């Protein structure tokens, strides 16, 4: 008896599935959505820059003709610079956000001037740190390498 009732339930399920399947056969399938277009970015991929030059490490190092040991030392200098400047960059962003907030609130000119001075001082500190690390980098180079580095940095 259980087998027969189970068989009837299975047949009923198959029949209902078949009925629903037949209803869909008369309607056309929806067209698939067109694939997303890939956007062409105008900015190139981010390149790892050396110190505060804004130039590619690889380009500068190749132009200067650094040896393996000099490459290692230069990378260590870069790592120390990034660690020291990281918190300073975050602070600059924070102060710039505060300045934007003051602008939105139409704050007094004296307040905005004070905030701009804070940002300027922080950027000056960052520039001084960069000069310090660039001097450390210069000490490990020969005069020819330094000249090639400066030339590549200006390009």
Q: Which fold has domain 57-154?
A: 1.20.120
How much is the pLDDT for 23? 46
Domain ranges of the chain: 57-154
User: Of the ranges 31-35, 47-51, 92-96, which is most confident?
Assistant: 92-96
3-state helix, strand, coil in the chain (%, to 5): 70, 0, 25
Q: What is the pLDDT of residues 73-82, one digit of tens each?
A: 888 888 888 8
Phi, psi of 135 (to 5 degrees): -65, -40
For residue range 34-76, list pLDDT tens digits in order: 443 433 444 444 457 788 777 888 888 888 888 888 888 888 8
């Amino acid at each position: 008896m259980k087998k027969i009732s189970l068989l009837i339930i299975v047949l009923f399920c198959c029949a209902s599935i078949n009925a629903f399947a037949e209803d869909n056969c008369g309607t056309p399938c929806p067209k698939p959505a067109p694939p997303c277009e890939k956007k062409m970015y105008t900015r190139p991929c981010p390149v790892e820059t050396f110190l505060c030059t804004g130039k590619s490490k690889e380009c500068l190092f190749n132009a200067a003709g650094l040896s393996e040991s000099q490459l290692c030392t230069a990378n260590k200098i870069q790592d120390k610079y990034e660690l020291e400047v990281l918190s300073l960059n975050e602070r600059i962003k924070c102060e710039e956000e505060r300045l934007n907030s003051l602008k939105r609130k139409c704050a007094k000119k004296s307040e905005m001037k004070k905030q701009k001075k804070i940002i300027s001082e922080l950027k000056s500190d960052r520039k001084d740190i960069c000069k310090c690390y660039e001097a450390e980098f210069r000490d490990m180079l020969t005069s020819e390498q330094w000249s090639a580095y400066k030339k590549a940095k200006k390009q």
